[in-house]
Chain A
Amino acid sequence: MNYKKIVFIYVSLTIVLPMLFLGNIIYYDPLKLFHKPWHHKEYLHSNMRVQAAGMLKYLDYDSLIVGTSILQNTSAREASKRLGGKFINISIAGSDYFERSYILGHALKNKNIKKVLYSLDYLGEAGHENRVYNYKNWDYLYDDNKLNDIKVYLNKKYLTCLFSFVNKDWCMGMKRDFDRPGAWYQVEEHIKTFGGFETWLKNKNSPNMKHLFKIIDRLLLQMEKTKTIHNKLIGLLGLAKSKKYINKYILTLVQQYPKTEFIFIAPPYSRLSNALVAQTDITKFIVYLESLKYLVRLSEVNNNIKVYAWGNEKFLDNLENYRDLTHFSHKINSWILESIENKKGLLSVKMIDKYLESFIQKAIEYDFTEIKIKIRDYN
Chain B
Amino acid sequence: MLFNSYIFIFIFLPISFFTYFFLLKKRYIIAAKSFLVFASLFFYSWWNISYLPLILSSLLFNYTIGNTLHINSKKSSINKKFLLMFGIVSNVLLLGYFKYTDFMIENINNIFESSIPLVNLALPLAISFFTFQQIAYLVDSYRGETSEYDFLNYALFVTFFPQLIAGPIVHHSEMMPQFASPWNLLKKYKNISLGLFIFSMGLFKKVVIADSFALWASKGFSNPEILSFFEAWATSLSYTFQIYFDFSGYTDMAIGVAFLFNIKLPINFNSPYKSLSIQDFWRRWHMTLSRFLKEYIYIPLGGNRKGTVNTYGNLLATFIIGGIWHGAGWTFVFWGFLHGIGLVIHRVWQLFGIKLWTWLAWLITFNFINVSWVFFRAEKWDDAVEILKAMIDYDNIVFTKSFIYIYDTTIKKLSFIMPNLEASSSTKFLFDATTFIWLGFIFILIRYKNSNMMISSKDVFSIGYTVYFAFLFLFSILAISLSEYSEFIYFNF
Q: Which residue of B lies closest to A133 (CB)?
A: B414
B335 adjacent to chain A (CB < 8 Å) = no
Q: Which of B192, B413, B467, B482 contacts A7 (CB under 8 A)?
A: B192
Q: Is the CB of B196 within 8 A of A3?
A: no
B442 adjacent to chain A (CB < 8 Å) = no
In the complex, A336 Cα to B81 Cα: how many Å? 90
Bits for A144-156, please: 1 = Cβ < 8 Å to B, else 0.
0000000100111
Bits for B388-420, please: 1 = Cβ < 8 Å to A, else 0.
000000000000000000000000011111010
In the complex, A17 Cα to B477 Cα: how many Å? 12
In the complex, A18 Cα to B470 Cα: how many Å? 11
Max count, chain B CB within 10 A of own CB: residue among A4, A7, A131, A210? A7
> Chain B contacts of A17 at CB under 8 A?
470, 474
Q: Is the CB of A10 within 8 A of B461?
A: no
Ordered by A's residue number, 6 sampled pairs between the chains whose C-beta atoms are within 8 Å are A2-B189, A7-B192, A13-B466, A13-B470, A14-B473, A159-B478
Do A10 and B196 form a contact, CB below 8 Å, given A1-B462, A154-B481?
yes
B453 adjacent to chain A (CB < 8 Å) = no
Max count, chain B CB within 10 A of own CB: residue among A10, A17, A156, A159? A10
Do A132 and B193 form a contact, CB below 8 Å, given A154-B478, A155-B482?
no
Do A211 and B416 form a contact, CB below 8 Å, given A3-B190, A10-B469?
yes
Q: Is the CB of B413 within 8 A of A10?
A: no
B351 adjacent to chain A (CB < 8 Å) = no
Q: Is the CB of B474 within 8 A of A6?
A: no
Q: Which of B415, B419, B463, B474 contacts A9 (CB under 8 A)?
A: B463
Q: Is the CB of B463 within 8 A of A7?
A: no
Do A3 and B461 form a contact, CB below 8 Å, given A10-B193, A17-B474?
yes
Q: Is the CB of B189 within 8 A of A9?
A: no
Q: Which residue of A lies closest to B197 (CB)?
A: A10
A208 adjacent to chain B (CB < 8 Å) = yes
Bits for B274-315, please: 1 = Cβ < 8 Å to A, else 0.
000000000000000000000000000000000000000000
Q: Is the CB of A4 within 8 A of B482?
A: no
Report which B residues bind A (CB closer than 8 A).
Answer: 188-190, 192-193, 196-197, 413-417, 419, 461-463, 466-467, 469-471, 473-474, 477-478, 481-482
Q: Is the CB of A9 within 8 A of B467?
A: yes
Do A1 and B463 form a contact, CB below 8 Å, given A14-B474, A17-B474, A151-B481?
yes
Given A13-B466, A13-B470, A211-B415, 13 more A-B residue pairs with CB atoms under 8 Å apart are A1-B462, A3-B189, A3-B190, A3-B461, A6-B189, A7-B196, A13-B467, A17-B470, A17-B474, A18-B477, A131-B413, A159-B478, A211-B419
In the complex, A131 Cα to B418 Cα: how many Å? 13
In the complex, A155 Cα to B480 Cα: how many Å? 11
Tell me how far the C-beta of A364 lies from the nearest C-beta in chain B, rounded to whole angstroms.
Answer: 28
Determine the main DSSP class of B at the interface with A. Answer: helix
> Chain B contacts of A207 at CB under 8 A?
415-416, 419
Q: For residues 1 through 47 of chain A, which have their beta carbon under 8 Å from a beta carbon of chain B? A: 1-4, 6-7, 9-10, 13-14, 17-18
Q: Is the CB of A6 within 8 A of B413?
A: no
> Chain A contacts of B481 at CB under 8 A?
151, 154
Report which A residues bind B (CB closer than 8 A).
Answer: 1-4, 6-7, 9-10, 13-14, 17-18, 131-132, 151, 154-156, 159, 207-208, 210-211
Q: Which residue of B lies closest to A159 (CB)?
A: B478
Q: Which residue of B lies closest to A16 (CB)?
A: B470
> Chain B contacts of A4 at CB under 8 A?
189
In the complex, A4 Cα to B415 Cα: how many Å? 56
Do A10 and B474 form a contact, CB below 8 Å, given A131-B413, A132-B417, A154-B482?
no
> Chain A contacts of B413 at CB under 8 A?
131-132
Tell me how far the C-beta of A75 lies from the nearest C-beta in chain B, rounded to whole angstroms.
Answer: 24
Tell me how far the C-beta of A141 lies from the nearest C-beta in chain B, rounded to whole angstroms.
Answer: 14
Tell me how far the C-beta of B237 lies from the nearest C-beta in chain A, rounded to whole angstroms.
Answer: 25
Tell me how far the C-beta of A35 lies from the nearest C-beta in chain B, rounded to whole angstroms.
Answer: 22
In the complex, A183 Cα to B307 Cα: how many Å? 83
> Chain A contacts of B466 at CB under 8 A?
6, 9-10, 13
Q: Is the CB of A6 within 8 A of B193?
A: yes
> Chain B contacts of A154 at CB under 8 A?
478, 481-482
> Chain A contacts of B473 at CB under 8 A?
14
Tell me how far the C-beta of B483 lies from the nearest C-beta in chain A, rounded to whole angstroms.
Answer: 11
Tell me how far the C-beta of A273 lies from the nearest C-beta in chain B, rounded to whole angstroms.
Answer: 15
Tell me how far the C-beta of A220 lies from the nearest C-beta in chain B, rounded to whole angstroms.
Answer: 19
> Chain A contacts of B482 at CB under 8 A?
154-156
Tell me how far the C-beta of A132 lies from the nearest C-beta in chain B, rounded to whole angstroms.
Answer: 6
In the complex, A132 Cα to B417 Cα: how many Å? 9
Tell me how far the C-beta of B6 lies from the nearest C-beta in chain A, rounded to whole angstroms.
Answer: 11
In the complex, A17 Cα to B470 Cα: how many Å? 10
> Chain B contacts of A10 at CB under 8 A?
193, 196-197, 466, 469-470
Max count, chain A CB within 10 A of own CB: residue among B466, B478, B481? B466
Q: Is the CB of B461 within 8 A of A6?
A: yes
> Chain A contacts of B469 at CB under 8 A?
10
